[in-house]
A and B are shown apart, each in its own frame.
Chain A
Amino acid sequence: MKKVILLFFVYMLLSPFVHGQSTGELEMQFRQLNQALQAEQAALDSLNDLMEIKAKDIAYEKKSALPDQNKIIKWMSHAVTLSHQIKDRQRRIANARSEIEICRSRLEHMYTETIDSLRQLERSGKYIGDIYELRNHLLIWTEKRIFLTPLVSTLSFDPQKVQRTELTDASDPMDRAIIEDYLTNALKEIDAHIQVVTGTRKEFEETADLRRRTSDFINEAHEQGRISSMTRSQAFRNTGTDIFGNPVGQMFTAVQVRSVAGLMQQLNTGTLMSHTNKSLMSAKTAITQEEYIQLLRQAENLLRTYRSIVQKKLK
């Protein structure tokens, strides 16, 4: 029994060193990252609103009887600046989300290890302290883990509700305006997701393409007048890379995969409902860059399909 208690406390003591950060520090970091994300999101919303106003102004001015070209040029220049700012914010949001997911995964791992240790203590039946206090601790840690367990709330609207909603169902103009507003906001959100997913997918695709082409170039160069043929000769494409030229050691674990998979699941398309794909949601799932790109591509297609459904409802 003493051994079990001792092991538990040794684990709790060593845990910060093993993980590099204590649980408290990590929780603090998680909170700060979420706050930063919210701030970034608010800034992005403001920029999107400004952009919308600017676009309307330009369109209005262009349609006027005597359009003021100077004014249009000035506004368009401002719109370009806004567009850059929006892209920059979107990139920052994507990075923040990724960091949050890493942090979330580490916290989840820490909580799980602590819960397992406490459960072991409880089951051993040899715990001499206050068993209720032990169970209380178990409850607190479980609660903390539950807080983390839900997937990233990628969509703020209910996709199923959107699918059921029709403008023709509106009973009066006010009701119609509400439904229209709901669908428009859903569309905006889907567009934002498409931008992030497409941006990430393109970024990784371009990197993979550059790696593949660089590997080809290395092979070609080494075919020319390369005499040495021992370990320095790289018959196997390039040392340190896998079959597809990606560096060995890079795996996209649950942190990145789950946010994309979660988004797909929320869209409720059934794609992720198969037994094999369910493991995508597992915290232990790790996939390669190649598979991650394919997953992003699937998510993008789903979002685009969903977008056309929503858009059709607005017509």
Chain B
Amino acid sequence: MYPGLRAGGWEWKAGTEGGYFRTGDEDISGKIKYIGAISGSLRFDHTYDRSSCLFQIRLRPEVYGPQGNNYSINASATGQYQRRWGDFEINAGIASRIQKYQLHSNRLDINTFQLLASANRYFRTRMSIGIDAVYNKVVLMNHTKNRISAWSVIPKANYFLSDFTSMSAGILMESYWAQTKDIILTTRSNRGWRFGPELNFEYSKSWLIRTKYLPSKRFFSSINEAQVEHEINIVFGKKLTTHWSIFMLADYYFSANDSSVQNVVYTQTNYENRIHAKLVYSWKKSYSVFVKMAYTKNELLYEKVTLSGTQASVGIEFQK
């Protein structure tokens, strides 16, 4: 409808960072003192008439030193399409992700595949209702091989209190299936579903705050008792001056998993907490240097593996 209103096109970003890293794993804490990482992404988006498409690939290898062969690789590819007819909008996407962790003697590979479809209908000036449907497939390989697939549907209502403040509420309904193949034990599987309300709030003007709270109950076919999990995400961003910006993120996830259903549950972690902060100095729109502070703690369900660490690093980024 507005040809030429949005140019779109190719965008790339490359960066490197390095600094102090202290792992929470006592076995290797003496061996790891620093982290070095390079990251790159390539993005293409295009809008014509009322259709938009996006393609994006990202890669981030990390090495931990000075001793041992410790590294991680994270790669992802995403494709998305969006189309609007008057007050009606659809969105479809496909994503694939590979994560490899080699930490101490633990080798962990996670392959994820995701499909997304969503529809939104806009009402009047500030309201819309919509539905998101997501399919996830995860293959997680360590000493065992876990396969998990899940369908989820989230009907939700979005309301804009002003041009810069929005809130939304939805209900997550998810059905999943999990299977564990073990060299020693027999193959086990489990299926179940979970549901819970999802609440979001965002304010973005000269500064941005985005929050999400999702408490949910999970039901299994293997046990009668439902389990509860909580997820809270808070993101903050502010442009301090023309050149300086600050971003912060806090994720809290807790799942009251029962050990009796280990390896065949829907999630791979008992808890996942992280706090990230990034202070960025940008110039000429293409270059930026940053200082990053990060704390992450994930406890994997099986093998009781804990991936945790505290990081303080500096880095540089180029983009076009």
Contacts and interface: CB of A to CB of B under 8 A. Distances in A.
Interface of A: 98, 102, 105-106, 203-204, 206-207, 209-211, 213-214, 216-221, 223-233, 235-240, 242-244, 247-251, 253, 255, 276-277, 279, 284, 286-288, 290-291, 294-295
A235 B158 contact: no
B112 A236 contact: no
Contacts of A290: 5-6, 47
B190 interface: no
B205 interface: yes
Interface majority SS (helix, strand, loop, mixed), chain B: strand
Contact of A248 (B76, B130, B164, B239): B130
Interface of B: 1-3, 5-6, 13, 39, 45, 47, 52-54, 58, 60, 62, 72, 74, 76, 78, 80, 82, 84, 86-87, 89, 91, 93, 95, 97, 99, 110, 112, 114, 116, 118, 120, 122, 124-128, 130, 132, 134, 136, 138, 148, 150, 152, 158-160, 163-164, 166, 168, 172, 174, 176, 200, 202, 204-208, 210, 212, 231, 235, 237-239, 245, 247, 249, 253, 266-269, 272, 274, 276, 278, 294, 296, 298, 300, 307, 309
B268 A228 contact: yes
A223 B60 contact: yes
A207 B272 CA distance: 30
A217 B238 CA distance: 12
A255 B125 CA distance: 8
Contacts of B208: 207, 210-211, 214
A209 B237 CA distance: 11
Given A227-B110, A228-B267, A247-B166, A214 B210 contact: yes
Given A102-B125, A225-B274, A235 B97 contact: yes
B177 to A, nearest CB: 12
B204 A230 contact: no
A236 B158 contact: no
A231 B148 CA distance: 12
A235 B298 CA distance: 19
A207 B307 contact: no
A93 to B, nearest CB: 16
A60 B253 CA distance: 67
Given A211-B204, A230-B266, A231-B134, A240 B168 contact: yes
A231 B5 contact: no
A291 B1 CA distance: 10
B70 to A, nearest CB: 13
B87 A247 contact: no
Contacts of B249: 217-218, 221
B33 to A, nearest CB: 17
B168 A286 contact: no
Contact of B39 (A106, A223, A232): A223
Contacts of A244: 45, 52
A244 B45 CA distance: 9
B205 A253 contact: no
A251 B128 contact: yes
A230 B2 contact: no
Contact of A235 (B54, B112, B174, B237): B112
Nearest to B268: A227
A206 B206 contact: yes
A276 B3 CA distance: 10
Contacts of A249: 120, 122, 126-128, 130, 158-160, 166, 168
The 8 closest A-B pairs by CB, nearest first: A249-B158, A235-B95, A214-B237, A294-B5, A249-B128, A229-B112, A217-B247, A221-B276
A213 B174 CA distance: 31
Contacts of B5: 290-291, 294-295
Contacts of A237: 78, 80
A213 B245 contact: yes
Given A221-B274, A223-B39, A227-B110, A243 B6 contact: no
B269 A228 contact: yes
Nearest to B278: A217
A229 B300 CA distance: 12
Contacts of B122: 249, 251, 286
Contacts of A248: 89, 118, 120, 128, 130, 158, 168
A229 B202 CA distance: 24
Contact of B158 (A207, A221, A247, A287): A247
A105 to B, nearest CB: 7
B82 A242 contact: yes
Contacts of A287: 2
Contacts of B89: 248
B307 A225 contact: yes
A218 B233 CA distance: 11
27 contacts: A206-B239, A207-B208, A210-B206, A210-B208, A210-B238, A210-B245, A211-B208, A214-B210, A223-B39, A223-B74, A225-B72, A225-B298, A226-B298, A227-B110, A228-B268, A228-B269, A229-B110, A235-B76, A247-B158, A247-B160, A248-B89, A251-B122, A276-B2, A287-B2, A290-B6, A294-B5, A294-B6
Given A225-B72, A276-B3, 10 more contacts: A223-B74, A231-B136, A231-B152, A235-B76, A236-B78, A243-B45, A244-B45, A247-B166, A249-B126, A249-B160
Nearest to B249: A221
A207 B120 contact: no
